[in-house]
């Protein structure tokens, strides 16, 4: 099943004169294995090699995505002669971008595509063997690994290479008790195959515990009376909250052309309580790993909120230019098919000072949201819980069937009244963030346990 790959370092580009231009080469190698209800369903192996070309001319961008790498110079020349758009505000890329020449690849020592499919299948079967229990009606196990390398070259002299890889297992299953069913999943992933393999026993124990918990949930979960309650979010759900409720609002492209919003979002504006800090950092290992962005800028830790105050926002070159701020290393694209836009990397809420026991102990009658199917963060923030539990007198008790929890984003931020003192950032297998037409982008998120005084529960 081997397929040919090429050395992106050997590719050369002739840039047109008098315009800013860059090329992002990309090569991804994917393997996916699907086991369904005990049968091997599919083995997929795919190599994609392509490039996204950009030319900035008279303040307007001209892009082309291609898999024909032999025609890069020709296509760049065509883009440079385009005049389809009327001129816009000039963008001085030379003053916005820092030129890096660096090979930042870190996964060459153990490429996941070098592991035999048979070994991956055998490891995966260890997880799916746990589905052989009478209350699991059906299941689908997925092995996914991806190795991705990008090389960014610009007419200003930038030349950076970096890589990303992940390998993991996810199992989706339906578990039943009588007529009641629950559809849930379990996933674990690491950057390296050997890391994943070495943690197998630990992860299998976690899978067994998860299945038992789901069985209890489906047997005992009761619908809740809709209303407002105190809510504790798990680190995973807190991460969804940080990403969806606030992170997207920190992406500066949403502020273009809106001076009123810029005024409302002035740096220093109070957003939440003193205990609240939210950070984005592409240099954090995990599913949001992006040491350089797709404009060749080095990622770094950007505080979006620090001590409850608005501290920063995320930029690509064109938004930094428009708003007179600095690039933050957040220009990202899901693949060579698309131009980079402002995106998050790994976003999390920083820890507070409460022990978990004290955090839950502060809730007399509320809910603990352990996992969620999805979340969104427009003016109203919404989470669709999967596993949720009642909290009574500070103790997590019986399972609760909740369709959605909602709250106005800024009111909810203001209602945070407790953060636990440790954080978790789960590795998200296969990415997960969507924006406009670009989905899924590999991102990470997480946080501590977060206690919110009141949210609408239905």
- What is the nearest approach in angstroms of other proteins to the Cβ of residue 226? 7
CA dihedral angle for residue 153, residue 164, residue 286, residue 116, rounded to 10 degrees: 180
x/- letters, 293..332, toward other proteins (CB under 8 A): -------------------------x---x----------
The span of 54-62, 159-167, 193-201, 202-210 binding other proteins (CB under 8 A) equals 54-62
Which range of residues in 8-16, 106-114, 174-182, 444-452 is near other proteins by CB under 8 A? Answer: 174-182
**307 Cβ contact list (under 8 Å, min separation 6):** 274, 275, 276, 277
Contact between 148 and other proteins per CB under 8 A: no
| Closer to other proteins by Cβ: residue 116 or 201 | 116
Q: What are the tokens at 232?
A: 């504790």
Q: What is the size of the binding site for other proteins (CB under 8 A)?
A: 83
Closer by beta carbon to other proteins, 12 or else 179: 179
Region 188-217 residues binding other proteins, contact defined as CB under 8 A: none
By CB under 8 A, is residue 228 in contact with other proteins? no
Which residues, 262 to 291, sit near other proteins by CB under 8 A? Answer: 263-265
Report the nearest approach of other proteins to the CB of residue 57 (Å). 10
Report helix, strand or coil for 237: helix
Residue 166 phi, psi dihedral angles, 5° rounding: -150, 155
Strand 346-349 with 444-446, pairing: parallel
37 scored as a contact of other proteins (CB under 8 A):
yes
Q: Shortest gap between Cβ of 204 and other proteins (angstroms)? A: 23
Q: Which residues pair with 183 in a beta bridge?
A: 174
Q: Minimum distance from CB of 257 to other proteins (Å)?
A: 4
Choose between 206 and 228: whose C-beta lies nearer to other proteins. 228
Q: Does 41 bind other proteins (CB under 8 A)?
A: yes
Nearer to other proteins, 138 or 200 (CB): 138
What does the alpha-carbon distance between residue 406 and residue 415 come to, in Å, rounded to a whole number? 13
Dist. CA 426–CA 432, nearest whole Å: 12
Q: Hey, which residues between 107 and 126 contact other proteins (CB under 8 A)?
A: 117
Task: Tell which one of 5, 11, 16, 32 touches other proteins (CB under 8 A).
Answer: 32
Q: Is 133 in the site for other proteins (CB under 8 A)?
A: no
DSSP-derived letter for residue 455 is: E
State the Cα–Cα distance between residues 338 and 393, nearest whole angstrom: 51
* DSSP code for 334: S
**Residue with smaller CB distance to other proteins, 1 or 18:** 1
- Cα 407 from Cα 457, distance rounded (Å): 9
**Residue 60 interacts with other proteins (CB under 8 A)?**
yes
Query: Any contact of residue 3 with other proteins (CB under 8 A)?
Result: yes
Minimum distance from residue 219 beta carbon to other proteins (Å): 14
Select from 148, 191, 243, 248 the one that contacts other proteins (CB under 8 A).
248
Pick from 11, 63, 431, 454: which binds other proteins (CB under 8 A)? 63
Pair type for strands 341-342 and 331-332: antiparallel
| 256 is a contact residue toward other proteins (CB under 8 A) | yes
Of the residues 6, 44, 99, 122, which one makes contact with other proteins according to CB under 8 A: 44
Residues numbered 367-386 forming contacts with other proteins, rule: CB under 8 A: 373-384
Site for other proteins in 383-442 (CB under 8 A): 383-384, 401, 403-404, 406, 410, 436
Length of the chain: 458
- Which range, of 208-216, 260-268, 287-295, 389-397, touches other proteins by CB under 8 A? 260-268
Q: Report if residue 351 touches other proteins, rule: CB under 8 A.
A: no
- Calpha distance 135→211 (Å, rounded): 9
Using the rule CB under 8 A, which residue among 10, 84, 116, 225 binds other proteins? 84
Residue selected from 9, 14, 46, 195 as contacting other proteins according to rule CB under 8 A: 46
Round to whole Å and give the CA distance between 21 and 61.
9
How is residue 21 written in tokens? 């231009």
Residues pairing with 144 in the sheet: 32, 168
Q: Which of 335, 332, 312, 316 is nearest to 50 (CA)?
A: 335
4: its two tokens: 């040919």
Instruction: State which of residues 110, 254, 306, 323 lies at the interface with other proteins (CB under 8 A).
Output: 254
> For 149-165, what is the HEC assignment?
EEEEEECCCCEEEEEEE
- Options 5, 11, 66, 100; binder of other proteins; rule CB under 8 A: 66
- 372-410 core/surface letters (b: 16 or more CB in 10 A; e: else): beebebeeebbbebbbbbbbeeeeeeebbebebbebebe
H or E element that contains 77: helix 72-80
How many other β-carbons are positioned within 10 Å of the β-carbon of residue 300? Answer: 13
């Amino acid at each position: 099943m081997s397929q040919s790959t090429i050395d992106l370092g050997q590719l050369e580009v002739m840039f047109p004169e008098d315009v800013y231009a860059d090329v992002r080469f990309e090569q991804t190698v994917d393997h996916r294995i699907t086991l369904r209800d005990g049968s091997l369903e599919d083995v997929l192996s795919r190599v994609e090699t392509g490039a996204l070309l950009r030319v900035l001319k008279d303040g307007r961008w001209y892009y082309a995505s291609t898999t024909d790498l032999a025609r890069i110079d020709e296509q760049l020349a065509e883009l440079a002669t385009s005049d389809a758009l009327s001129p816009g505000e000039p963008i001085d890329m030379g003053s916005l971008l820092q030129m890096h020449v660096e090979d930042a690849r870190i996964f060459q020592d153990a490429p996941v595509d070098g592991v035999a499919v048979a070994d991956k299948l055998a490891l995966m079967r260890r997880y799916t063997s746990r589905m052989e229990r009478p209350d699991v009606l059906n299941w689908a196990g997925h092995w996914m690994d991806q190795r991705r390398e990008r090389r960014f070259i610009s007419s200003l002299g930038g030349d950076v290479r970096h890589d990303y890889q992940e390998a993991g297992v996810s199992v989706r299953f339906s578990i039943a008790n009588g007529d009641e069913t629950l559809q849930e999943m379990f996933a674990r992933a690491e950057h390296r195959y050997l890391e994943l393999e070495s943690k197998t026993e630990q992860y299998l124990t976690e899978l067994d515990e998860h299945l038992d918990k789901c069985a209890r949930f489906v047997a005992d979960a009761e619908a809740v009376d809709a209303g407002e309650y105190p809510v504790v979010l798990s680190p995973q759900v807190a991460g969804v909250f940080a990403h969806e409720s606030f992170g997207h609002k920190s992406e500066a492209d949403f502020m273009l052309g809106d001076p009123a919003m810029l005024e409302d979002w002035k740096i220093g504006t109070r957003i939440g309580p003193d205990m609240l800090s939210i950070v984005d950092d592409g240099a954090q290992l995990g599913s949001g790993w992006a040491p350089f962005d797709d404009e060749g800028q080095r990622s770094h830790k950007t505080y979006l909120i620090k001590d409850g105050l608005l501290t920063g926002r995320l930029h690509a070159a064109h938004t930094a230019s428009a708003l007179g701020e600095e690039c933050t290393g957040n220009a990202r694209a899901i693949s060579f098919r698309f131009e980079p836009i402002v995106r998050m990397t790994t976003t999390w809420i920083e820890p507070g000072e409460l022990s978990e026991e004290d955090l839950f102990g502060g809730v007399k009658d509320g809910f603990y949201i352990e996992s969620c199917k999805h979340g969104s963060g427009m003016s109203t923030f919404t989470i669709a819980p999967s596993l949720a539990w009642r909290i009574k007198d500070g103790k997590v008790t019986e399972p609760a069937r909740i369709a959605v929890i909602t709250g106005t984003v800024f009111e909810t931020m203001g209602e945070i009244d407790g953060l636990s003192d440790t954080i978790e950032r789960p590795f998200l297998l296969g990415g997960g963030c969507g924006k406009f037409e670009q989905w899924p982008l590999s991102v990470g998120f997480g946080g501590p346990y977060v206690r919110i005084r009141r949210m609408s529960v239905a």
